[in-house]
Amino acid sequence: MPSRRARRWSMRVMALGAVLLSACSHNHRMREVDAAFAQADWTKAADQMRQVEQEFAKDSVNALVFHLEAGEVLQSAGDTGGSVRSLDAAYAIARPYLDEKAEISISAEAAALVTNQTVRPFRGRPIDRIMMNALQAINYWSVGRVAEAGVELNRAWLWQQDAVERNAKRIKELQAKVDERARASSYNVTAAQRDPVFSSQASAAYAPVRAMQGYADYAVPYVTFLRGAWFWSTGQPSDLDQARQSFERVAGMLPEADRAHAMADLAMAEAALAGQGVPDMAWVVLESGLAPSLKELRIDIPLFIAEVPYVGAAFPEPVFRQMGPAGFTVTAGDQSVRSTLLTDIDSAWGRQFNDELPAVITATLLSSATKAILTWQLQEHLGTWGAVAGALYQVGLNSADLRTWTTLPKRVLSARVPVPPDRRITITVDGGETIGPIECPVGHATIVHLRGTAAGRPCAVRTLGGIP
């Protein structure tokens, strides 16, 4: 019979496992929000989201992801003030990582080894940080605070530069940390990765996301376009050159089939710089569908123990979700223009997920094997008490990190027309919805921003414009 001290220790392990089994995951807490948001029930989604955000506002591990979710959901519901506050809170958490605060915490990584990856503070991927400030720019621009929108777009650009300069280094440091832990462990991670059972299951699960290329230098064409349109709105010669550069970058990022609108923007900017005037333009952008979520994927990993050859480990698996409206047509006077793809958010997200995947796999192998071996040892040394304690410990901690910004769009489509004499445009969204006529504000740039999550459901609409 195990000693009293051993039984007390195993009971502590059982208590820890029970607590972690009862913990609420990001996916669980977002379930009702997601259900309403996916059906374009903006008000219901916002009501649910406010409760969830408040619950996690002081959670240093998870607050950022819920502030980001709230920023998107509240914006779509027309609660611009609430969205501004949520995105400001998100920026306050993320801002130190731009140039000073270390992103790889030794203590957090050590805790993750004996628990799971969900104990690491959520810091977001580059696309999260870039889109965070782009959405804030949309908030400010929609209420006439055009200069502040420019500040936010500049911050988004800085996040993109930061990703180019630091993200490869950050991923390398993360991999180095988990490799260091692996070397200090008795578990052979390298042999596990080569195991035919594990490698075949992992290859099959991650093949779709590994095929995604994203955009060069972590760029998001949508955000680069918004920056170009903002510079165009001022009509100033120095800003017109910045607009030209932005439109040129967008054209360079897009495949030939989707490049026509960006090329027209570029030609327009070049003509303006040549002294041919600055026409008033109306752009329509549709943020369509839902960005990827993550689900738990069980993959068998080898333990190299005769009595327990394999054990199931939990890995994050991308889930690519619904499309939303397929496109739209914008009409201005007697001219009608069809939308084209501006940004494939899925692809940009997928590339960044791929960058992190090797380190995530190594860390998960190591932490899952460590817990499984401890469970086996408890059973060997403490009998029934150890078996129960070990099982609870392993199950309670064998969870993948499923945190990701799920309310972002799947893709962004756009179209452009010169502002007509009556300054009114009409938009026909695929599925039958007609929006407008919308009156374009006085100024060189009008952006009609649409958010649609489900085909055939109404889009959220806001108009951006005015003179900086």
Residue 375's pLDDT band (boundaries 50, 70, 90)? low
Higher-pLDDT residue of 99, 395: 99
The 10 Å CB-count burial string (b at 16+, else e) for 52-91 is bbeebeeeeebbbbbbbbbbbbbbbbebbebbbbbbebbb
Identify which of 116, 117, 297, 322 has the alpha carbon closest to the alpha carbon of residue 207.
297
- Tokens coding 397: 């901690």
The tens digit of pLDDT for each residue in 225-251 reads 999 999 999 999 889 999 999 999 999
- Tokens coding 254: 């897009």
Strands laid side by side in the 434-439 sheet: 335-338, 328-332, 424-429, 434-439
In the prediction, which pLDDT does 11 show? Answer: 47
- Residue 95: which domain range? 4-464
Omega before 302 within 30 of 0, i.e. cis: no
Number of domains present in the structure of the chain:
1
The 10 Å CB-count burial string (b at 16+, else e) for 379-408 is beebeebbbbbbbbbbbbbbbbbbbbbbbb
pTM: 0.86
- Is the pLDDT reported for residue 432 higher than 90? no
In the prediction, which pLDDT does 252 show? Answer: 93
Quick check: 150 and 223 in contact, CB under 8 A? no
Which residue, chain included where needed, has tokens 């309310």?
Answer: 407
Residue 118's pLDDT band (boundaries 50, 70, 90)? low
Q: Using H for helix, E for strand and C for coil, what is the string for 103-145?
A: CCCHHHHHHHHHCCHHHCCCCCCHHHHHHHHHHHHHHHHHCCC
What are the angstrom distances between the C-alpha of 340 and each of 106, 329, 461? 45, 10, 19
The 10 Å CB-count burial string (b at 16+, else e) for 162-192 is bbeebbeebbeebbebbbebbeebebebeeb
- Is the pLDDT reported for residue 337 higher than 60? yes
CA distance 325 to 189: 45
Lowest mean pLDDT of 51-60, 67-76, 184-193, 394-403, name the range. Answer: 394-403
Q: How many CA atoms lie within 13 A of 264 on its CB side?
A: 15
DSSP string of 305-339?
Answer: -SS--EEEEEEEEEE--------EEEEETTEEEE-
CA distance 307 to 27: 35
Identify which of 228, 281, 235, 275 has the alpha carbon closest to the alpha carbon of residue 251.
228
Quick check: 64 and 94 in contact, CB under 8 A? yes
Sign of CA dihedral 387, 393, 395, 398: negative
- Is the pLDDT reported for residue 32 higher than 70? yes
The tens digit of pLDDT for each residue in 1-10 reads 455 554 454 4
In the prediction, which pLDDT does 417 show? Answer: 96
Which residue, chain included where needed, has tokens 């692809």?
Answer: 347
Lowest mean pLDDT of 18-27, 34-43, 255-264, 448-457, name the range. Answer: 18-27
Sign of CA dihedral 136, 140, 142, 146: negative
CA distance 193 to 228: 45
